[in-house]
Amino acid sequence: MVTVGRRPLPDSSHHVRGDLADDRILDLLSRAAPEAVVHLAALTDADLCEEQPERARVVNAEVPARLASAVAKSCRRFIHVSTDLVFDGERAPYAEADPPLPISVYGRTKLAGEREVVSILGERACVARLALAYGPRPSGLSRPSFIERMVASVSRGESVSLFEDEIRTPVYVEDAAHALALLVEGPSPPSIVHLGGPDRCSRFEMGTRALAEFGLASDLARASSRSEGRARAPRPRDVSLESSAALALGLPSRSLTEGLSSMKRELERLGFMVGSEIAVPEEEANSL
């Protein structure tokens, strides 16, 4: 496996350091003639996308189109990872056939990227819309998930505020990675596949269940509303994904209870846990 990006992925046999917006990297990929591509890169900070819409357009829409064009001659399958935030949150749960209607710059640019890739590659393209992913970091160089930051804060006796009116279908990160691999290696997938977990829940419910799994006091978690937040990007109310197509393809999707238990075991194995406290790497300490 060859990976391309600003930092290497764990277990990558060969990594090319670079930016997909760089013509030299795209030319290198074109000459490498890959048979399969999984495109994960994106500007995912929704607030930053609102502040820098042109940058969001380039990264989330233009780059996928240029990448698809660069590998079009050789690529038999192109998996383009998108997001549940292409929906407006008013008619959940969303199936693949439901019309997207994004309400943020992030959602609009991701939807544009989806359409560009499918337009260029046709049946060779598969859009994998990912729900809110959670799980342990693959390495200390990666950013901690919101659950890891929350657990770290509560273990220090600090309170956390979590939305109770923002509903998602969280997917365990290991399941998402396995599903993407199966989409590459298995029979020809449909043009769009939703990758969400089986549980519909708010961040507040997700957070309190995580605290219980980690043996921490849930009374330090405060339920809040989207209207109280300071986010610049509009936040859809309910972008739950209906993922029956993924299940029919045999793609994994464990429950939130199973995922949180797996996350706790993996964090302990990686040494991020000390009793009921997370030992946060020094370079991350100031960001939690």
Strands (E), the chain: 2-5, 14-17, 36-39, 77-83, 125-130, 133-134, 160-163, 167-168, 171-172, 192-195, 201-202, 221-224, 273-274, 277-278
Q: What is the pLDDT of residues 228-251, one digit of tens each?
A: 777 789 999 999 999 999 999 999
The SS3 of residue 82 is: strand
The SS3 of residue 151 is: helix
Instruction: Read off φ and ψ for residue 272, nearest 5 degrees.
Output: -80, -10
pLDDT at position 5 = 66
What is the rounded CA–CA span in Å between residue 73 and residue 78? 12
pLDDT at 170 exceeding the cut of 60:
yes
What are the domain boundaries of the chain? 33-287
**How sure is the predictor about 271, in pLDDT bands with cuts at 50, 70 and 90?**
confident
Strands 273-274 and 167-168 come out as unpaired
Contact 207, 263 (CB under 8 A): no
Contact 216, 160 (CB under 8 A): no
What is the rounded CA–CA span in Å between residue 233 and residue 172? 25
Terminal C-alpha separation, the chain:
33
Contacts 24+ apart (CB under 8 A), 12-21: 20/63, 20/66, 20/67, 21/58, 21/59, 21/62, 21/63
**How sure is the predictor about 115, in pLDDT bands with cuts at 50, 70 and 90?**
very high
What is the rounded CA–CA span in Å between residue 68 and residue 150? 38
CATH fold group of domain 33-287:
Rossmann fold (3.40.50)
**How sure is the predictor about 275, in pLDDT bands with cuts at 50, 70 and 90?**
very low
**Residue of 102, 66, 80, 142 lying closest to 233 (CA atoms):** 102
Q: What is the pLDDT of residues 1-33, one digit of tens each?
A: 667 766 666 555 576 777 788 888 899 889 999
Alpha-carbon torsion angle 106, 109, 115, 116, nearest 10: -140
Mean pLDDT for the stretch of residues 124-147: 84
Contact 131, 92 (CB under 8 A): no
Tokens of 163: 């939305």
Question: Average model confidence (pLDDT) for the chain?
Answer: 88
Q: What is the pLDDT of residues 39-65, one digit of tens each?
A: 999 999 999 999 999 999 999 999 999
Q: Which residues contact 274 (CB under 8 A, 6 or more apart)?
A: none
pLDDT at 286 exceeding the cut of 60:
no
Instruction: Read off φ and ψ for residue 131, nearest 5 degrees.
Output: -80, -175
Verify cis geometry, omega within 30 degrees of 0, for the bond prior to 93.
yes
pLDDT at 119 exceeding the cut of 50:
yes
217: number of CA atoms within 13 Å, CB side? 11
